[in-house]
Amino acid sequence: MKKKLRFLIIEEKAGVNHLDLVRAIQDLGHESHHCKLSDVVMRSNEHGLSAFFGGTDFTDFDIVLPRTVSSNLRLGRLLLRLKSPHQFILDHCISERDTFGKISQAHTLLDAGVLHPKVYFTNNQEDFAKDIEHALEFPCIAKPIVGSQGRGITLVQNSQEALHLIESAGEDYLFQEYLPIESDYRVFMIGNEVFGAMRRFVAPNDIRSNVSIGAKTEACIPTPTMKEVALRAATAFKYDVAGVDIAIVGEKHYVLEVNRSPQWQGIKNTLGIDPALAIVKYCLEKHKQLQAL
């Protein structure tokens, strides 16, 4: 009889993706536990530091899925560094990487030789006012440094709109080169392999193609170039699971973003596939490999 493994899902909200994971874990005969990062308790003794969720030692969980740790990234990184050798933690690479949202994304992609739209950032309003005429080309896209599902993304038509946004925003924004596209592509990667891909059409009267805002999608077969670009982007971040967003302008393939914890309802419904089941099976295989070491 196979051993029943204990999964820990660290996630702020138990949405539809979370429920998919729980169902997949249970269908495969294992236990699913859910906690928020804020539920962690840490204690030290003469042997070192230990973490607990609901009285259970963090290292007693066999497989950990840190779906959302951005609420306190420093705490999340520290927690993941407390793993034991027998544990498999999905995307454990985030425990070591310093990130600054989309600015860090741009650096990682460009450093890996992946084409990415030009970006500009400063949180100094005086510098921004001085730079704006020669640093930005209009229209351009303004994005919150930290954000998901298209939140806060807007098209900026001129320098006056850009200045107003910087002056009035309650968070850090970057400005990104605008690419005149009608659609982009989401390539869903699991373990450095393409699991599925879909084309996403820009929503009417919008610049975003996020499924969460109602953008239309269609199944697609990624070209060899799309596969190569998506693999290079996911590999640059060392993610186990990634949603790579690609825009094609002429012959150029731009990676717009690499999502570590991608929403998958759109690709699930568009392609009729089960990303949660594939992710859980991937975790089980990686855990099995660890035990063989």
Write down the pLDDT at residue 150.
65
- What count of Cα atoms within 13 Å lies in the side-chain half-sphere of residue 39? 18
Write down the pLDDT at residue 165.
85
* CB contact at 8 A, 234 and 244: yes
- For 110, residues 6+ apart whose C-beta sits below 8 A from its C-beta are 116
10-residue averages of pLDDT along the chain (293 residues): 90 93 98 95 94 96 92 89 96 79 88 94 78 83 76 85 80 87 95 95 79 85 96 94 96 94 93 97 97 89
**DSSP count for the chain of H helices, then E strands:** 8, 16
Q: Rounded to 10 degrees, what is the CA torsion of 22, 25, 26, 31?
A: -90
Write down the pLDDT at residue 271.
96
CA distance 25 to 29: 7
Write down the pLDDT at residue 1.
59
Predicted model pTM: 0.90
Tell me phi and psi for residue 122, to 5 degrees.
Answer: -160, 145
* CB contact at 8 A, 231 and 37: no
- For 73, residues 6+ apart whose C-beta sits below 8 A from its C-beta are 99
CA distance 83 to 53: 14
* CB contact at 8 A, 105 and 121: no
Q: Rounded to 10 degrees, what is the CA torsion of 187, 192, 194, 200?
A: 0
CA distances to 127, 128, 150, 178 from 175, in Å: 14, 11, 14, 9
